[in-house]
Chains A and B, each alone.
Chain A
Amino acid sequence: MVWASQHGEPQQWAWTGGIDEWRLVDISDKQVRIGAAVTLAQAVRFRELRSLISAVIDGAAVVGSVQLRNQATLVGNVCTASPGGDTLPGLYVHDAMVEVVNAAGSRRSVKISEFLCAPGKTNLAPGELVTGLTLCGLAPHEGSTFHRFTQRNALDLAIASVAARVRFESDGQTVAQASLALGAVGPTVLDVADAAALLVGHALEPSRLRQCAALAAESCRPITDHRASQDYRRQLVQTLTMDVVAAAAARARGSIAMTL
């Protein structure tokens, strides 16, 4: 819209926001499908999504402002392909698949990490559209969280952001599975599997958490710009990772309490 108003009136346009299939949220077992016309505000208000894809909803709740979230969609946030997109790290830890259709009607499904190529660039070919996202929701003993750091509390872009997903063994102590994704510190979101792997098979002791956060900070590729320096962003990743893993673990323990 902004681009269009700066480049003169559009000669041709189509409104996809009214397509019924695109406006749906489907939940079957732990699988969540979100149509391309579902707004961020609708996703945030959908209570079941908060417990199934917590990290994505944490991000959706802080994009822009009240007005923008009423208009903007989750799929729009994906297609913008900003390195700092607030929903993107959460989508990574929830193994999002992007559903694509072309003009001939043939469909394909792409992993989010392959869909996002570079700042502002996706792997959509001419004539293709995104129809929705499929996400892997949280299992029992599992939690996910997204945190970001901004200079202002609203209408600001992240200087750095981190999403974590943690699943405990049934003992509630040993980490069975973990994933971590970093935003705004590389050309696209970075999946730091090596750092997350350090948590698996162990209890979440402070020393292990520090080790994981240090490796995440080492693995990121931030730039220096008007928002922050490279070095500051790297230190932020370390702090945010510690916080976000602890918060995801607390949610996972909450889900343990709920399933008992």
Chain B
Amino acid sequence: MKTRTCLRVNGTQYEVPPSFSGRRLLDYLRSALGLVGTKEGCGEGDCGACTVLVDGTPMCSCLLLTGVLDGREVTTIEGLPEAFLSQFAAICTEYGAVQCGYCTPGIAVMAAWLRDGGNDMNDEPVSKLFEGNLCRCTGYQQLIEALTALS
């Protein structure tokens, strides 16, 4: 029976303490690694605030058991390139696409995934691609405009 879990987070290799292997990736990132940029919203996979990339694919970290991620590469908001984050912040400011900011890390991770060509269904409109990221402040229009400008 395998008990050790090793994974990379933002380029650094970690061995997961046994006490976290049966907990959610979200808990491991926030409590064990102190990477609190990833937010917990609904905890049920609806809101997308906890979105991270696993081997380059966006997933909800509240629905992943840390122990199953042996050998995988996780990227959180903290691991996105500085240049991208500056550009993302500038565009969000320009379009008024941020208010309380709670959903923003998840949206930034999705935007980085799209920018890196992660989406091969490229006929999908921005509003469809961000269907899994809820925002209760902006009313979405500003977000859609900002994300369209970014892509």
CB pair B22–A2 under 8 Å, yes or no, is: no
CB pair B46–A15 under 8 Å, yes or no, is: no
In the assembled complex, the Cα of A71 lies from the Cα of B60 at a distance in Å of: 8
* Shortest distance between the CB of A94 and any CB in chain B (Å): 22
Q: In this complex, what residue of B is CB-closest to A17?
A: B68
A-side residues, CB < 8 A to B, are 1-2, 4-5, 9-11, 13, 15, 17-18, 41, 44-45, 64-68, 70-71, 153-155
In the assembled complex, the Cα of A155 lies from the Cα of B140 at a distance in Å of: 15
Known A67-B60, A70-B59; contact A1-B65, beta-carbon cutoff 8 A: yes
Quick one: CB contact mask for B111-142 with A, threshold 8 Å, 1 for yes?
00000000011000001111111100000000
Interface residue from A13, A41, A67 paired with B22 (Cβ < 8 Å): A13
CB pair B132–A9 under 8 Å, yes or no, is: no
Known A5-B43, A153-B131; contact A68-B60, beta-carbon cutoff 8 A: yes
B24 at the interface (CB under 8 A from A): yes
B63 at the interface (CB under 8 A from A): yes
Give the chain B neighbours of A45 by CB distance below 8 A: 120-121
Give the chain B neighbours of A44 by CB distance below 8 A: 121
Known A5-B24, A9-B23; contact A15-B65, beta-carbon cutoff 8 A: yes
Interface residue from B58, B65, B68, B131 paired with A154 (Cβ < 8 Å): B131
Interface residue from A11, A15, A66, A153 paired with B132 (Cβ < 8 Å): A66
CB pair B45–A64 under 8 Å, yes or no, is: yes
> Can you offer 12 A-B residue contacts whose CB atoms are under 8 A?
A2-B43, A4-B65, A5-B43, A10-B22, A10-B65, A15-B67, A67-B45, A67-B60, A68-B60, A68-B63, A153-B128, A154-B131
Chain B residues within 8 Å of chain A by Cβ, number: 30
In the assembled complex, the Cα of A250 lies from the Cα of B58 at a distance in Å of: 35
In the assembled complex, the Cα of A20 lies from the Cα of B111 at a distance in Å of: 31
Known A66-B132, A67-B59; contact A9-B22, beta-carbon cutoff 8 A: yes
Interface residue from B62, B110, B120 paired with A5 (Cβ < 8 Å): B62
Give the chain B neighbours of A9 by CB distance below 8 A: 22-23
* Shortest distance between the CB of A11 and any CB in chain B (Å): 8
In the assembled complex, the Cα of A67 lies from the Cα of B26 at a distance in Å of: 14
CB pair B67–A13 under 8 Å, yes or no, is: yes
Give the chain A neighbours of B120 by CB distance below 8 A: 45
In the assembled complex, the Cα of A10 lies from the Cα of B59 at a distance in Å of: 21
In the assembled complex, the Cα of A71 lies from the Cα of B134 at a distance in Å of: 18
